[in-house]
Amino acid sequence: MSAEETARREFFRVSVPEAEFIPFETDIGTFRVLEISERGIKLDSDRELNLEQWLRGKIVFDDDQAFNVSSQVIRVSRSDQPNHWAVVVEAMNLPMSRVVAFQSYLVRTYGPSSESAN
């Protein structure tokens, strides 16, 4: 198993349903959070971002709590939606307790199917 595959499985990822829209607001635009884990987020992007590119901004949770986040792009792939990309970033400064609380809420509300594979 590669180091990237190990890292992907190291953290618990949960899909964020559209009804629970969580924005990641950066200086280059606002991205929708598709999945969230303790160390990373998967974003929906209408532009292709570069590997290792840094994004700095804030994530605003459903209770209007906002957290400044620095992140680095670690994976980019085409989305099923035309002219969109799925961008995975390693997020620094993301409070683990807040992420775990949000993940727990999503699983309780939407069931275990909100848990992501891998």
67-113 pLDDT per residue, tens: 999 999 999 999 998 999 999 999 988 899 999 999 999 999 998 76
Of 113, 93, 78, 75, the C-alpha closest to 38 is 93
Examine residue 100 and state whether it is found in any structural domain, yes or no.
yes
Structural domain boundaries, residue 59: 3-113
User: What would the mean pLDDT of 41-60 be, rounded to a whole number?
Assistant: 95
Q: What percent of the chain is predicted at pLDDT more than 90?
A: 69
Examine residue 26 and state whether it is found in any structural domain, yes or no.
yes
Give 69's contacts (C-beta < 8 A, 6+ positions apart): 24, 56, 57, 58, 59, 91, 92, 93, 94
Alpha-carbon distance of 25 to 6, in angstroms, equals: 29
Task: Please provide the average confidence, as pLDDT, over all residues in the chain.
Answer: 87
Predicted local confidence at residue 2, as pLDDT: 55
User: CATH no. for residue 8?
Assistant: 2.40.10.220
Examine residue 66 and state whether it is found in any structural domain, yes or no.
yes
Examine residue 118 and state whether it is found in any structural domain, yes or no.
no
Alpha-carbon distance of 8 to 13, in angstroms, equals: 9
